[in-house]
Amino acid sequence: MRIAFLECTRCGEHLSADRSQNVCPKDGGVLFARYDLASLRGKLRPENLAGRVATMWRYAEVLPEVRANEKPVTLGEGLTPMLPSREYPNVYIKDEGLNPTGSFKARGMSAAVTMAKHYGLKKLAAPSAGNAGGALAAYAAAAGIEAHIFMPKDVPMANRMECDYYGAYVTLVDGLISDCARMVAERKDKEGWFDVSTLKEPFRVEGKKTMGYEVAEQMNWKLPQGIIYPTGGGVGMIGMWKAFDEMEELGWIGSERPKMITVQAAGCAPIVKAWDAGKSTSEIWAGAATFAAGLRVPKAYGDYLILDILKKSQGTAVAATDEEILAAMRHWASVEGVFAAPEGAASLVAYQKLRANGFLSTEDTVVLFNTGTAYKYLDVIEAQEKKARLEPPTARNIGGIIGPF
């Protein structure tokens, strides 16, 4: 529906959505899109969703409205499977690997590029750990908009290749995503780029919040007791939390909330460290290193929002080592038939740890987010196997080569 205003999550300042905005001009706070949801209450009901388009745009009334003659820039993102675990009762795997471009980043970019087109923006720029770049490149291609992407030079090969094929301008940086972000910030004014960095414009959150609507819809409007979410920039967690508040305002759910649980890689765990220390913001993580590329975020721009959600939901934060993640990937693939991205498999590690220490029980309904597909990580997975000295083919269930014949 029509956005009433954009609201700063730090100072509460209202800004107009009539033109494109990045962050709060006063304090750099993240901006949230606000709608007149009270006017929808009682009119839009869950049963109205039946038979609607099987993408995230089925929730059109709670997504930014484009003009009557405009259409969302969509590639079929969202409404991904909610798979009951074959191993753990009451556990579900939300498989975001089935999205266009193979990750949940598609949702955020579908919304952000739709609005960029609406505002008439011609050039978008973003730093990326890999998947956000691929998604931006695809949606920009679909919209006929230029994309300028800055990625660490060691991103998975699939991310480099897809950006190239989608026609984006790609710069590989000998550094981390934070270095890439600095380059976008330094060059954007001169180049005329609109910055679509994580949480530096309001609409990627709007796309990603649809995961929260889907969790509710797919669980018949009864939220689970826990949600485990691999957290880099934290947009998905922030978006889902926003969705729960909106659904309560719409009268679709009550005041109950899942425990929101962050999982990060042990080699880059600034949110876990801040949570353990009882802090409300995080510090830059020095020497960030993990093969779960999307979790290699030394400092999240919205750290204050993530830590607030963990606290309000009585959630927690857990770290998983690369060895644990690799083992979880193999386990999930062989037991569940889900070949998860390393970031997604980290959710399984967190679940196992939280079951072992009693934070979660077997009765708790828990949703584990697999945020992407492993097919985009084949090169980094093989490199990780070598590092762990699991030399193929012994590591794999693959016999020797026969022939030539």
For 32, list phi and psi in degrees, rounded to 5.
Answer: -110, 140
- Does 233 bind ligand PLP (CB under 6 A)? Our answer is yes
10 binds, among Zn ion, ligand PLP, none (CB under 5 to 8 A by kind): Zn ion
For 81, list phi and psi in degrees, rounded to 5.
Answer: -65, 145
Beta strands in 78-174 (DSSP E): 82-84, 91-95, 123-127, 146-152, 169-173
- Does 374 bind ligand PLP (CB under 6 A)? Our answer is no
- β-pairing, 82-84 with 123-127? unpaired
Restricting to residues 142-161, name those near ligand PLP by CB under 6 A: none
Give least dist CB 14 to Zn ion, A.
10
For 259, list phi and psi in degrees, rounded to 5.
Answer: -70, 125
CB 306 within 8 A of CB 280: no
CB 110 within 8 A of CB 139: yes
Cis peptide before 25 (omega within 30 of 0): no
Give least dist CB 94 to ligand PLP, A.
12
- Does 343 bind ligand PLP (CB under 6 A)? Our answer is yes
123 binds, among ligand PLP, Zn ion, none (CB under 5 to 8 A by kind): none
8 binds, among Zn ion, ligand PLP, none (CB under 5 to 8 A by kind): Zn ion
Among 6, 23, 37, 129, indicate the residue that binds ligand PLP (CB under 6 A): 129
Part of the chain binding ligand PLP (CB under 6 A), chosen from 49-57, 112-120, 230-238, 325-333 = 230-238
Name which of 102, 84, 82 is nearest 336 in CA terms. Answer: 84
27 binds, among Zn ion, ligand PLP, none (CB under 5 to 8 A by kind): Zn ion
Nearer to Zn ion, 13 or 179 (CB): 13
- The radius of gyration of the chain's CA atoms, rounded to the nearest angstrom, is 20
Among 142, 372, 380, 384, indicate the residue that binds ligand PLP (CB under 6 A): 372
Nearer to ligand PLP, 111 or 250 (CB): 111
Helices assigned H by DSSP within 203-341: 203-208, 210-218, 235-250, 270-276, 303-312, 322-336
Total H helices, total E strands in the chain: 12, 13
- Does 341 bind ligand PLP (CB under 6 A)? Our answer is yes
Give least dist CB 55 to ligand PLP, A.
19
330 binds, among ligand PLP, Zn ion, none (CB under 5 to 8 A by kind): none
- Does 235 bind ligand PLP (CB under 6 A)? Our answer is yes
Part of the chain binding ligand PLP (CB under 6 A), chosen from 136-144, 150-158, 228-236, 248-256 = 228-236
Q: How far is CA 257 from CA 222, 272, 305, 357, in A?
A: 10, 21, 16, 22
The per-residue DSSP string of 14-59 comes to EE-SSS---S-TTT-PPEEEEE-GGGTTTTS-GGGGTT--SSGGGG
- Does 232 bind ligand PLP (CB under 6 A)? Our answer is yes
Nearer to ligand PLP, 202 or 372 (CB): 372
Cβ-in-10-Å burial (0-12, 13-18, 19+) of 83 comes to middle
Give least dist CB 46 to ligand PLP, A.
26
232 binds, among ligand PLP, Zn ion, none (CB under 5 to 8 A by kind): ligand PLP
- Does 270 bind ligand PLP (CB under 6 A)? Our answer is no
Nearer to ligand PLP, 117 or 376 (CB): 376
Give least dist CB 247 to ligand PLP, A.
20
What is the rounded distance in angstroms from the CA atom of residue 47 to the CA atom of residue 332?
Answer: 34
Side-chain-side CA neighbours of 154 within 13 Å: the count stands at 13
Number of residues that bind ligand PLP (CB under 6 A): 18
- Reported as type and span, the H/E element at residue 318 is strand 316-320
- Does 302 bind ligand PLP (CB under 6 A)? Our answer is no
Give least dist CB 32 to Zn ion, A.
11
- β-pairing, 123-127 with 194-195? parallel
Among 9, 110, 114, 231, indicate the residue that binds ligand PLP (CB under 6 A): 231
- Does 234 bind ligand PLP (CB under 6 A)? Our answer is yes
- What is the b/e burial string over 370-383, where b = at least 16 CB atoms within 10 angstroms of the residue's CB? bbbbbebbeebbee
In the complex, which residues of this chain contact ligand PLP (CB under 6 A)?
Answer: 103, 105, 129, 131-132, 198, 230-236, 294, 341, 343, 371-372
